Structure 1
Amino acid sequence: MSARSRTAVVLGVVLTAVPLLAALAGPLLVGPLGLVAPTGTDALLPPGDGFVLGTDALGRDVAGLALTGGTTVVALTVGALACAYLVGTPIGLLLAATGRRRLDGFVLRVLDVLLVLPSLLLLLVLAATGRRGVVWLVLAVALVQLPSVVRLVRSAAAAPTQRPALEAMTLSGEPWWRVHLLESGRAALGPVAVDAGTRAVLVLAMLASANFLGVGLDPDTADWAVVIEQNTSSLYLAPAALLVPAGLLVALCAGINLLVDQLLDPGEVAA
């Protein structure tokens, strides 16, 4: 691995680790560090007076929000990805295994409808119909990702390089589920793992957009995206309340992208 690639990997790890540590360990540190604004705290206080980064538009400690606002971001992202892959992977494997081309084509055409459906339109529909719960948000984000996941798994499982191994297992009397689910699933595991890294960024962006629109989480939730939406008009009065959570979100997305880029670089993998 070249020095440039090592630098990119280190930078990617740092950019990813900082927001992840804040999201996972932050809530445990808020109490011991005293980063909880007392009831009645004035809004938009500058840094100082017991508040390291000041307070936001609702009078909450910005440092405390930075350490607690990532929990929902990570949990919703993992939940949406898990739903998409838990549903999409079996469908993709079954489509790769089926010999019924008409059924395969019909399912793919149905999924194509979802593939071209703008994610923002789906979020607006949720907002207009009053379906603003976290469950609805996770299901909507997973639904948008489903067509791409199915196509990826189907392509990986049906790759020409897999056919000799599958035919040999079939001739040796292996059961259908072991050949077309376990063996094909193992072949698709690598592409799925790489795809999950890239897709996590897409899910993060969609979840952030949903929270900007007020879909999913309550307006007073300590979530980075919600905090950004609440403090957009306070940029000049309390810049930290907007820039700190925005910086953490950008760092998480950029770090994941850097690490995935290095993983996808065949030259570096070969080196």
Structure 2
Amino acid sequence: MAATTAVQTKKKKDRTFVTTMKRLLKNKLAIFGLIIILLQVVMAIAAPVITIHSPFKQNLAQSELPLFSEGHFLGTDNFGRDLWSRIVYGARISLLVGITAVGLGLAGGVTLGLIAGYYRRLDGIIMRIVDLLFAFPGILLAMLIIAVLGTSLVNVAIAISIWSIPTCARIVRGSVLSVKKQEYVQAMKSLGASDFRILVKHILPNCSAPIIVFATMRMATAILSTASLSYLGLGAQPPTPEWGAMISQGQDFMWTSPHMTIVPGIAIMLIVFAFNVVGDGLRDALDPNMNLNQ
């Protein structure tokens, strides 16, 4: 009987996954965003292969070359560094910091959300801590943390992850409160299953949809926040090829060499747009009410 139930559950999950993927593939804007993300990932991984010049090498004799210059199709900055190389290696930094920040934020937020939603006696304490973090505007909280820890990309990732924890905890808590009322959870309790097993094996998988959507859309926030903090001088330090720092450096040459600011600005816009539309597409595809209507 148990084996039959397990097989039925697996088949149901497979059908749900197939249905979700079909719905996502019908969303042309989400597919476009996914293509942009994949191109950015490939670009970041293959950076040494698809670039000719070092992102750090200076050549003052070729400073501020315009777009489509010979050997520098995106031009150069005021130090003669190749902008294409700096954009490509900047993609590595943005994606790495974003993934690290979101990963740490998920680890803390999911843990707190599971505990708060499952153990009612701890709910009040955890949610008050979360409310305290919500009292600070996100970017100001990140700036405060960096002011304490110091300016570096590692500290930027830590700051953004701490900023992500309260939102993630709220989302997971709400899902846990709904899932733990289901009959199968009560049945597992009556069979003597441990709280840890119930949380990890039964409740967490059924809270995965909102977590996936949150993580995807939070990547956009993390990348934009990294660029913002670097622009303010609190993140990447020269000569690191980070997009926000490149915009900060290029703003002084906006009238003579606008491409120094426009090119990294477009890179940030595209990747943030991509993660947002993919997140929207996943939210629609994972919506159980929408799936039931198909």
Superposition TM-score, scaled by structure 2 size? 0.81
2:33 is aligned with what amino acid?
G
> Which residue in the other structure is 1:152 paired with?
171
- Between 1:194-203 and 1:173-182, the stretch displaced more is 173-182
Answer yes or no: is the 8 Å Cα contact 1:19–1:249 preserved in 2.
no
For the structure 1 residues 74 and 36, does the alpha-carbon distance in structure 2 shift closer, same or farther, using more than 3 Å as the test? closer
Gaps of 5+ in 2: 1-21
For the structure 1 residues 203 and 163, does the alpha-carbon distance in structure 2 shift closer, same or farther, using more than 3 Å as the test? same
> Which residue in the other structure is 1:241 paired with?
260
Give how far 1:242 is off. Answer: 1.8
> Which residue in the other structure is 1:18 paired with?
39
**Aligned pairs for 1:123-202 within 5 A:** 123-126=142-145, 128=147, 131-159=150-178, 162-202=181-221
For the structure 1 residues 37 and 150, does the alpha-carbon distance in structure 2 shift closer, same or farther, using more than 3 Å as the test? closer
Aligned CA RMSD, in angstroms, stands at 2.5
Instruction: Say yes or no: does 1:118 pair with 2:137.
Output: yes
Deviations 1:214-263 (A, max 9, x none): 11211211111211111122233223222222111111111112222222
Answer yes or no: is the 8 Å Cα contact 1:55–1:241 preserved in 2.
yes
For the structure 1 residues 34 and 187, does the alpha-carbon distance in structure 2 shift closer, same or farther, using more than 3 Å as the test? same
> Which residue in the other structure is 1:69 paired with?
90
Answer yes or no: is the 8 Å Cα contact 2:55–2:83 preserved in 1.
no
Gaps of 5+ in 1: none
Identity of aligned residues (%): 23
Give how far 1:22 is off. Answer: 2.3
Answer yes or no: is the 8 Å Cα contact 2:59–2:81 preserved in 1.
no
Deviations 1:50-79 (A, max 9, x none): 322221123211111122111110000000
Answer yes or no: is the 8 Å Cα contact 1:262–1:268 preserved in 2.
no
Instruction: Say yes or no: does 1:207 pair with 2:220.
Output: no
User: How many correspondences in the alignment?
Assistant: 266
Give how far 1:268 is off. Answer: 6.8
SS in 1 for 2:237: coil
Of 52, 66, 71, the match for 1:50: 71
Task: Find runs of 4+ consecutive structure 1 residues off by over 6 angstroms.
Answer: none
SS in 1 for 2:276: helix
SS in 1 for 2:46: helix
The 2-side partners of 1:255 and 1:191 are apart by 18
Superposition TM-score, scaled by structure 1 size? 0.87
The 2-side partners of 1:163 and 1:143 are apart by 31
> Which residue in the other structure is 2:30 paired with?
9
Answer yes or no: is the 8 Å Cα contact 1:126–1:215 preserved in 2.
no
The 2-side partners of 1:206 and 1:139 are apart by 12
Give how far 1:176 is off. Answer: 2.1
Identify the structure with bigger relative contact order (alpha carbons < 8 Å, sequence gap 6+). Answer: 1
The 1-side partners of 2:201 and 2:116 are apart by 14
> Which residue in the other structure is 2:99 paired with?
78
For the structure 1 residues 164 and 37, does the alpha-carbon distance in structure 2 shift closer, same or farther, using more than 3 Å as the test? closer
- Between 1:126-135 and 1:74-83, the stretch displaced more is 126-135
> Which residue in the other structure is 1:229 paired with?
248
2:135 is aligned with what amino acid?
V
